[in-house]
Amino acid sequence: MNFKEFLEKLRGMSDLKKKIVLWTIVVIAAVIMGYFWVRKTADNFQKINQNISQIKIPDILQTTTPTN
């Protein structure tokens, strides 16, 4: 079935069926986009974790001495 035939079939459907087709396509697109969003977010958190582990915080108590 080519795209033109699909459009003709879609035009012949009732409004309720058209809405069901539309929302099905929207949900499938949202699931695909959500998958990639979660994957990219996990990669970014992993990069942040690697960067935080490389930070060296100086020990303030050993580097300063009171002057009284």
Per the model's pLDDT, the better-predicted residue between 46 and 52 turns out to be 46
Domain-located, residue 50: no
Average pLDDT, the chain: 87
Q: pLDDT band for 62, please (50, 70, 90 cuts).
A: low
Domain-located, residue 52: no
Domain-located, residue 62: no
3-state helix, strand and coil shares in percent for the chain, rounded to the nearest 5: 80, 0, 20
The residue segments making up the domain with residue 24 are 1-41
Residues 36 and 7: their CA atoms lie apart, in Å, by 29
Count of the separate structural domains present in the chain: 1
The 10s digit of each residue's pLDDT in 29-38 is 999 999 999 9
Residue with tokens 């002057």: 67
